[in-house]
Amino acid sequence: MSLVLHDVVLTYPDGDRTLTALDRVSFTVAAGEFAAVAGPSGSGKSSLLAVAALLIAPASGTVAVAGRDAAGLGPAERTRLRRDRVGVVFQQPNLLPSLTALDQLTVMAHLAGRPARAAAGRARELLAAVGLAGLEHKRPHQLSGGERQRIAIARALMNDPRVLLADEPTSALDHERGAAVVALLGRLTRERGVAAVMVTHDLAQLDAADRVWTMRDGRLSEAPAAGQRGPAAGHRGGHGGPPCVDAHTHT
Ligand SMILES: Nc1ncnc2c1ncn2[C@@H]1O[C@H](COP(=O)(O)OP(=O)(O)OP(=O)(O)O)[C@@H](O)[C@H]1O
């Protein structure tokens, strides 16, 4: 498994009390698998991604990325594991305004100390893979929102991560562009053997995922497979509530 969370508890101080943001969460994602996590605001989805991205250490439980348990690592090793093995896509593409599409990607390789020539070749290949061949020299203001998010996805893959985390990647896009971005994430996940997790409010995008999980009050449950989720389960163009939030196969 490329991403394994086992019995993870994450708490935040909350005045005199402690807020449990992740409540004994266990979650595994295999190479080439595209998992989606849905759930109401404040349920713990971003906290889950922050723990999986090794940005926050849990109070208890274990997190392993690409077979390495993060618990025993010092800060520098943890940062290296994140940089080399984890790619993250945010709600907003967060591109650098003055850089071309190509340079948005090559700067990642530069920061990781990788050779420039190979980086340029990989950046071109990735831009083509996300449908942006021919736009390598465009700057962010010359591109559409969907195109900018495609650059962010290509950038997240630049260092060949084993885990790809996407936090509401379609929230700044209309439905059609959002669906195209999610389909792209699914395709790249399978083609490149990455373990991908997408957090989303957009229930219409869930059918693109191999597995769907729901988060509620810090607890994670797996929803049934797409064909068994029923008409209110977020089919494209559907308008149901959260998919099977009552399916308590708590792990
Ligand atoms: N840094 C923090 N300090 C204290 N409490 C926090 C912090 N970050 C999140 N929380 C709390 O933890 C709980 C889970 O928050 P989280 O952001 O993970 O949920 P979410 O499902 O991603 O919500 P949203 O969809 O609104 O982003 C919420 O009650 C939130 O208020």
Q: How far is the CA of 20 from the centre of ligand 1 (A)?
A: 10
- Is residue 129 in a domain? yes
Instruction: Tell which one of 16, 19, 199 to mutate to probe ligand 1, the residue whose CB is within 8 A of the most ligand atoms.
Output: 19
**Residue 238, pLDDT score:** 35
**Residue 204, pLDDT score:** 83
Residue with more model confidence, 165 or 238: 165
- Is residue 212 in a domain? yes
Alpha-carbon span 47 to 44, nearest angstrom:
5
Both tokens assigned to 227: 């064909």
**Residue 227, pLDDT score:** 60
Identify the residue whose C-alpha is closest to ligand 1 atom 16: 44
Residue 241 reports pLDDT greater than 70: no
Give the number of domains in the chain.
1
Residue 248 reports pLDDT greater than 70: no
Residue 54 reports pLDDT greater than 80: yes
CATH of the domain at 35: 3.40.50.300
- Is residue 248 in a domain? no
Identify the residue whose C-alpha is closest to ligand 1 atom 24: 41
Q: Is residue 45 in contact with ligand 1, taking CB distance under 6 Å?
A: yes
Identify the residue whose C-alpha is closest to ligand 1 atom 1: 12
- Is residue 235 in a domain? no
Closest ligand 1 atom, CA of 47?
18
- Is residue 177 in a domain? yes
Q: Are 91 and 123 in contact (CB under 8 A)?
A: no
| Residue span of the structural domain in which 165 resides | 3-228
User: What is the model's pTM?
Assistant: 0.88
* Number of helices (H), then strands (E), in the chain: 6, 10
- Is residue 244 in a domain? no
Residue with more model confidence, 67 or 233: 67
Q: Is residue 17 in contact with ligand 1, taking CB distance under 6 Å?
A: no
- Is residue 246 in a domain? no
- Is residue 236 in a domain? no
Alpha-carbon span 113 to 115, nearest angstrom:
7
Residue 64 reports pLDDT greater than 60: yes
Identify the residue whose C-alpha is closest to ligand 1 atom 25: 41
Predicted complex ipTM: 0.96
**Residue 224, pLDDT score:** 72
Angle between helices 116-129 and 101-111 (to 10 degrees): 130
